[in-house]
Amino acid sequence: MSRRVPAVLVLQDGRTFHGEAYGHVGQTVGEAVFSTGMTGYQETLTDPSYHRQVVVMTAPHVGNTGYNDEDQESARIWVAGYVVRDPARVPSNWRSRRSLAEELDAQGVVGISGVDTRALTRHLRERGAMKVGIFSGPAADQPAADLLAAVTGAPDMVGTDLASLVSTDESYVVPAVGERRFSVTAVDLGIKSMTPHRLAERGIEVTVVPSTVTLEQVLTSGPDGGAPDGVFFSNGPGDPAAATHEIEVLQGVLERRIPFFGICYGNQLLGRALGYGTYKLKYGHRGINQPVMDLATRKVEVTAHNHGFAVEGTAGEVRDTPYGRAEVSHVGLNDGVVEGLRCLDAPAFSVQYHPEAAAGPHDASYLFDRFVDLMDGTPAAQLVDDQGETDTTEKDA
């Protein structure tokens, strides 16, 4: 049995939890957030939206399926740190290649186990997301005042633009599955690998471009050197108010009436492009079990979330924008947070969650079909019919 290494978790407000090192031994700081997903920890770890965040798993037993080479959502683990209560002693899954602890160690991710994650989660729900540090090995032997100083000195999430740190450096193409029907330029703000795959399944050739892309480059990114049939903005980390460049590009897309679909961070950027404000949530939504209502159909979807910021607004609200009328189209049922926007006079819509859902539910996969209909000429205001049913074929991709 390997030697157990003491570790300590220190929150910004001074509360401390003791445990054992899990993964790499050392120290790390970031924003403490909790994820309520019961499965899919590998997809969570490799989601670029978690950059600079220390993820607390509310599921008590983590690592039982080990780590494989197929379920990556990007080329690396992005979390700043990892907190679990009861790590699996031995992984058991036919696809497992190594243990989760071994992969965390190999990628230099500092974690802690043996922590009362229920108490920690309740603390974050009551006090809100805050800075945190994990210290193990010699780093844990530092004076308590020094540990707290390291935590409080960590960068703030508010006002931070992180998309360029997680985005691709060079453009690449994901070819359409079968006959190519449309071309879409996907701006990588921290995109998960499953997203362009879901688009490709619908006959869409996807050109993934860096977050630094200019409007002129977007307008010439189609297969023939012209404008693409649609533009997509992905999920990603950071404060949407700081993403001024991406917002300006999106406003140019809206002015030219190019069909647009955004998810997660892309939803927040559409909101700001339309003139909505954004704000930081107290503790955010993270997990694969979040209920959302599509206000047009009144259907409730179980959805996958990862966001600490949200768009200001109320359920069903319609307002005038520089690009025509826009409405709040989806709302979270736990707390009433805006979970989707839809332009009524321009071909654009967005949701705050992950319709590609890897891992997670597939309730929202119909949104990719709505995007196809938008590019096929269906006006945004008619994507849902008068009876409150979608006019697209909902399919589980």
User: Which residues belong to the active site?
Assistant: 264, 354, 356
Nearest to 154 by CA among 52, 79, 48, 237: 52
Nearest to 272 by CA among 326, 317, 228: 326
Q: Is 309 annotated as a binding residue?
A: yes
Q: What is d(CA 319, CA 8) in angstroms, rounded to the nearest whole number?
A: 49
CB 182 within 8 A of CB 374: no
User: Which letter, b or e, does each residue of 128-151 get, where b requires 16 or more Cβ atoms within 10 Å of its Cβ?
Assistant: ebbbbbbbbeebbeeeeeebbebb
Q: Is 236 annotated as a binding residue?
A: yes
Q: What is d(CA 283, CA 120) in angstroms, rounded to the nearest whole number?
A: 12
Q: What residues form DSSP beta bridges with 230?
A: 184
- Sequence-separated (6 or more) residues with CB below 8 Å from residue 225: none
The amino acid occupying position 107 is Q
Between the alpha carbon of residue 228 and those of residues 178, 233, 260, 367, the distances in Å are: 19, 14, 11, 19
Q: Is 49 annotated as a binding residue?
A: yes
Q: Which residues belong to the annotated binding site for L-glutamine?
A: 49, 236, 238, 268, 306, 308-309
Q: Which residues belong to the annotated binding site?
A: 49, 236, 238, 268, 306, 308-309
